[in-house]
Amino acid sequence: MPQNSDFKDYILGDILGTLNGVTARSMFGGYGLYKDGIIFGIIAEDELYLKVDDTNQKEYESFGSHPFVYERGNHAKTTMSYWIIPETILEDRERIEELVMNSFSINKKKKRRN
């Protein structure tokens, strides 16, 4: 599926524009979202997904989120640890920034351990 740069630009400019160090890189038909070189989210099929682990999964479940799942060719479906951000959350700048920083922290800690 081709990438939609308009949605990426909307996310980077309008939604995450106040956060320093946020960039996007093309990947697998979508975009990886990075802060200071550490991935914290993805854009796929015109949706924003943020990194989730056992520390924040219940929170995402509480607002009706679900993980990103993809299927390629004859391979089984793959569920990733990136969960969709509902539009109601996107409209709350303070809340989305909090979620982004939490997702960033998850991968930053993981990177330090490796």
Strand order in the sheet with 67-70: 22-27, 30-35, 38-44, 47-51, 78-84, 67-70
Q: Is the pLDDT of residue 2 over 70?
A: no
Contact indicator for 96, 85 with CB cutoff of 8 Å: yes
Rounded average pLDDT over 65-88 = 91
Looking at the domain assignment, is residue 94 inside a domain? yes
Q: Indicate the number of domains in the chain.
A: 1
- Spatial CB neighbours of 62, under 8 Å, sequence gap ≥ 6: none
Looking at the domain assignment, is residue 57 inside a domain? no
Q: Is the pLDDT of residue 1 over 50?
A: no
Looking at the domain assignment, is residue 10 inside a domain? yes
Domain that holds residue 20: 5-50+85-113
Read off the DSSP letter of residue 16: S
Q: Is the pLDDT of residue 80 over 70?
A: yes
Looking at the domain assignment, is residue 91 inside a domain? yes
Q: Is the pLDDT of residue 73 over 60?
A: yes
Looking at the domain assignment, is residue 29 inside a domain? yes
Read off the DSSP letter of residue 68: E
- CB neighbour burial string for 61-81, b if at least 16 within 10 angstroms, e if fewer: eeeebeebeeeeeeeeeeeeb
Looking at the domain assignment, is residue 76 inside a domain? no
* Confidence at residue 109, expressed as pLDDT on a 0 to 100 scale: 75
- Structural Rg of the chain based on CA atoms: 14
Q: What is the pLDDT of residues 11-68, one digit of tens each?
A: 999 999 999 999 999 988 899 999 999 999 999 999 999 999 999 999 999 999 999 9
Looking at the domain assignment, is residue 109 inside a domain? yes
* Confidence at residue 111, expressed as pLDDT on a 0 to 100 scale: 67
* Confidence at residue 70, expressed as pLDDT on a 0 to 100 scale: 87
Looking at the domain assignment, is residue 35 inside a domain? yes
CA distance 14 to 51: 20
